[in-house]
Amino acid sequence: MRSRLVPVATALAVATSTALMMAPTSTAAPAAGGDSSAKLTNTNFAFTATGYGTLVEGGMVPADSGTTGFSTIACTNQAGKTRDNYIAEVNVPGLGTISGVRTDVQTRQRKNKVFSLAKHSVADVSILDTPLGSLSITGVSATSRVTYTKSGPDKGFKTATNTSVLGIKLQPAGGLPAQTVPLPTPDQPITIPGLATISLGKSIEKKNRQGATAYANALFIHVIPTDTTVKVARSAAKLERGAVSGIFNGNSSPVRADVIGDLIRVGRAVNSIMPCTGTDGELKKKSAASVNLADQVVVDGAYSQQRANQVKGRASGTEESGVAKISLGGDALVIEGLQAKVNVVRKGSKVTKNGFTKFVGITAGGQAQELDQLPETIEIPGVGLVKLEFNLKRKTAWGMKVVALRITLLEAGGDDVDSVVNIGEAKLRIQPLGS
């Protein structure tokens, strides 16, 4: 991993007010960007390349901002794909304004070499104006690259990452001259009291006989007034061998929550993501003793697991997740033994799929309940009005998705959705080579 920093001279320590509490979200339409391809070539490798400008997480922001300037090529065996994205300017909640967000992701084959490449750059990050001024970070970039060379001195998988930051400046209020802030070093973040702590991001490079991965984040910014973390300029590239019958795409998670009350998005807990070429027949499992969602929904014994394999002419896989027990409102409503599972098999162009869900039992107020006796909505003390939906299934062209239980927390009156929680979620598809 190589990191380049342009040195600057003058130190700075300032205090600022909490005027940075929130920026309005107003994303400009992309000035350019799209998909283009050279000659597409099918290979025995699975390519993945992604990048984005910023990602805002946590703190007092009511929901994460998603990603800006996002572009991705996910799980394909085709070399010759190119995607890019450009955004002139966007306001990011909890941060300020970012400008010149550019992403370029590629899959390529040249002679005896294939590679996956992701490049991302941000021209300027401007933390909001405060009574003492504003902060600007310029020239932020991150590049990740994975290659496989069939023969010669560079034979095998190689990884490379690179990050750079041009400069950091404070523009004081009142028309005073701008001041240059020292750049952080790998072991020394820069803190501007009351405003932000700026740290260099991390780069990770991993490889084995079957594949390689490279990730690079240029900067982490902790915005102090909002207790928000912002990742700036992230790139990721991955290359896996073994795509001989299909490309896998799936995941399993025992808990997925969108929004719980005023809390930030929880996302997936104990999530297992299927590798593009499968697991080589190995069962991979994750688990957690408990998952607590704002004391409204408490899950015990959560797990997810997956297995997939492919040989010439046949690819098969399974995704599964479940929980031992889920409790709403303490023990006002308890559901035990939830499970969701999807199986998919591809033989040439034919795809067979099936999925099932199950649960062991339901108790309300300590009394056993039959599923067909439950009302459409239930009022649970400490939680509110709840809608329960069991055994949700959806087939796709190449696979299937199932959800064992969907819990919808409704606003007073039952008309508006406050939160949605999926318990026991599994999905898998096996797409054909050349897609």
Rounded mean pLDDT of 27-33? 42
* Same domain membership, residue 186 and residue 308: no
Rounded mean pLDDT of 180-196? 85
pLDDT value of position 274: 94
How many domains, the chain? 2
Tens-place pLDDT, residues 338-354: 999 999 999 999 999 99
State the average pLDDT for the chain: 83
* Same domain membership, residue 141 and residue 54: yes
* Same domain membership, residue 263 and residue 227: no
Q: Report the candidate in 301, 253, 306 with the shortest Cα–Cα distance to residue 284.
A: 306
Tens-place pLDDT, residues 371-382: 887 887 888 887
* Same domain membership, residue 323 and residue 225: no
**φ and ψ at 373, to 5 degrees?**
-95, -10
Maximum separation of any 2 CA atoms in the chain, in Å: 73
Q: Any idea which residue has 């005023």 for tokens?
A: 262
Instruction: Check if the beta carbon of residue 357 is closer than 8 Å to that of residue 400.
Output: no
State the amino acid at position 140 in one-letter form: V
- Nearest-Å Rg of the Cα atoms of the chain is 24
Within 10 Å of residue 30's Cβ, how many Cβ atoms? 15
* Same domain membership, residue 380 and residue 343: yes
pLDDT value of position 356: 94
* Same domain membership, residue 309 and residue 200: no
Tens-place pLDDT, residues 119-172: 999 999 887 666 666 788 999 999 999 999 999 898 999 999 999 999 998 877
Rounded mean pLDDT of 25-42? 56
Rounded mean pLDDT of 329-333? 85
Give percent above pLDDT 70 in the chain: 84
* Same domain membership, residue 113 and residue 189: yes
* Same domain membership, residue 34 and residue 17: yes
Residue 35 has pLDDT above 50, yes or no: yes
Task: Choose the final residue of a domain: 241, 257, 272.
Answer: 241
* Same domain membership, residue 313 and residue 233: no
Rounded mean pLDDT of 210-216? 95
* Same domain membership, residue 293 and residue 189: no
Residue 5 has pLDDT above 50, yes or no: no
* Same domain membership, residue 261 and residue 180: no
Task: Choose the final residue of a domain: 225, 241, 257.
Answer: 241
Task: Choose the final residue of a domain: 241, 272, 294.
Answer: 241
CA distances from 225 to 13, 16, 91 (A): 16, 9, 17
Higher-confidence residue of 143 and 413: namely: 143
Higher-confidence residue of 18 and 87: namely: 87
* Same domain membership, residue 202 and residue 264: no
Q: Residue 350 belongs to what domain range?
A: 247-431
Residue ranges of E strands in 131-279 = 133-149, 156-172, 179-181, 190-192, 196-200, 203-207, 211-223, 228-241, 247-257, 267-269, 272-273
Tens-place pLDDT, residues 55-93: 877 665 544 455 788 889 989 999 999 999 999 888 876
pTM of the entire predicted model: 0.76
3-state secondary structure of 263: coil
Residue 181 has pLDDT above 50, yes or no: yes
